[in-house]
Chains A and B, each alone.
Chain A
């Protein structure tokens, strides 16, 4: 329900010259997407059913829903790591078929290579795209500076705090200048203060390059504070239950303060109304049977 008609974004400016996939504006469109998995016991399990979701180019979209509603699955489908059983997924003007170019992905757990230095980790993106090592390292240095980690280039990930590792992860995801940024509960493992700081920094970085974002979280306050649009998903099989446009002005300023504004509270109450049902249903389900859920 509540599917906006996709604003067909302009074609890539000039085919061959726009070699960097990231320069292509990337709206995201899921239409009638269904995804089933086989459980280890051999039964089919429907994670997503008939999901329609549109994220306009440059829009920050947060997806909230109870545990096991297929939020993460949505991201793997958009990134091309996995394919839907039915329906179509499109990024920009391309139908997703295999790993989509121009995508950045920030995982819930750290995805940094522990044997590489921070600098080498961030430089991976360009190096995978064939950029000469020297140039890639220069770009990585620049991105580390942008996320406030100048001086930590030669550290290994295990020498950094959780928040710092997340910044490295952000830099590593953004260095390819993706037109689409997918985030899977990126700040879930951080303490509350660090989370707030990271949220502010994420917004600041996002303002610079304005990729389209799908931000998966189960924290509704975080979702409203960050996003232009909040999508509520039902408990598995996941479908889109409601889409809410967040009309809080941008730039948002400090995430910690915006949550006291009357409009924020009103939106929160409205969306929570819808989300609560699903959370309760999910809870009842896990309480009655040991539900086999995919995250």
Chain B
């Protein structure tokens, strides 16, 4: 320890020789870094607010002055009025909350089934070379099909209810998660596998203690994209034929050439998606808490 303090003294001496205005202690440096970070944060937030104001304000102004036709492009104030109308008096298909709930339920169920299927099949195929070789080409072909088209078939098969939307959302989610889980299993450190086996782990124990946690990094990364796909699946499914849901609200607004209605529904979907994103982020942080902080996180005090 004395050696360390001696070297620190030497360092301080060198520093004060370089900077004649006196030695600087660590607290001062930290305080300066903090205040610089705070100033930057304020600047960023201010700029963000200004950008938003500029875009919305410009939109409102241009449509107000009839430079841009509000009939086709909508108008922020009219979108706001539409939203208030929906929340106060409901839509043509019942309360707006019901529409949100229907779409959300379809998206969530599709998400759960898709994620579950993707993880199970991804891990199975990732570990079984033979199965992967046999099924690989077919999965690639199915992935190449524009799967939105499947929505039409699902509506024919499963009717106008929730099930067809859940199926479409699940199919969209499945492939994203599957490929990530598969790759995650393939990337597991050979050393860790060998070590677990030597320690006496059974196949199931290897999967549970080594492969699954290791692939989890990959799987969770895919969940962000996957939830977006689940919402797309639900809404496109509703577009193709349904009695309730935000997709129906949008398509009916489209049918009456109500641009404000389309934008208003879009806004609601965006809020839902952002909330989900936030929750997935929380889940990610929780499940991957063991990870060392990345260098960029560590340096930004």
Contact = CB atoms under 8 A, between A and B. Distances in A.
Interface of A: 76, 79, 81, 99, 101, 103-105, 107, 109-111, 113-116, 124-125, 128-129, 156, 158-159, 172, 176
The 6 closest A-B pairs by CB, nearest first: A111-B195, A158-B292, A115-B290, A105-B198, A128-B200, A128-B201
B64 to A, nearest CB: 56
A172 B199 CA distance: 9
A107 B194 contact: yes
Contact of B290 (A101, A107, A110, A114): A114
9 contacts: A81-B194, A107-B195, A109-B191, A110-B191, A111-B194, A111-B195, A114-B290, A115-B288, A128-B202
A111 B200 contact: no
A188 B14 CA distance: 37
A115 B213 contact: yes
B148 interface: no
A128 B199 contact: yes
Contacts of A103: 198
Contacts of B196: 124, 128
Interface in B261-301: 288, 290-292
Contacts of B290: 114-116, 156
B205 interface: yes
Contacts of B200: 99, 101, 125, 128-129, 176
Interface in B199-237: 199-202, 205, 209-210, 213-214, 216
A129 B199 CA distance: 8
A103 B195 CA distance: 11
B15 interface: no
Contacts of A114: 290-291
B197 interface: yes
B192 interface: yes
Q: Which bucket holds chain B's interface residue count?
A: 20 to 34
A87 to B, nearest CB: 21
Contacts of B202: 128
Nearest to A156: B290
B197 to A, nearest CB: 6
A129 B205 CA distance: 10
Nearest to B288: A115
Contact of B198 (A81, A110, A156, A158): A81
A103 B290 CA distance: 29
A103 B201 CA distance: 13
A140 to B, nearest CB: 12
A107 B199 contact: no
Nearest to A172: B199
A104 B200 CA distance: 10
Given A105-B194, A128-B205, 6 more contacts: A81-B197, A81-B198, A115-B291, A124-B199, A128-B202, A172-B199
B288 to A, nearest CB: 8
Most buried by B among A104, A113, A172: A113
Interface in B104-162: none
Contacts of A176: 199-200
Most buried by A among B191, B199, B216: B199
Nearest to B192: A111
B209 to A, nearest CB: 7
Given A109-B191, A111-B191, A99 B198 contact: yes
B210 A113 contact: yes
A172 B210 CA distance: 15
Nearest to A129: B200
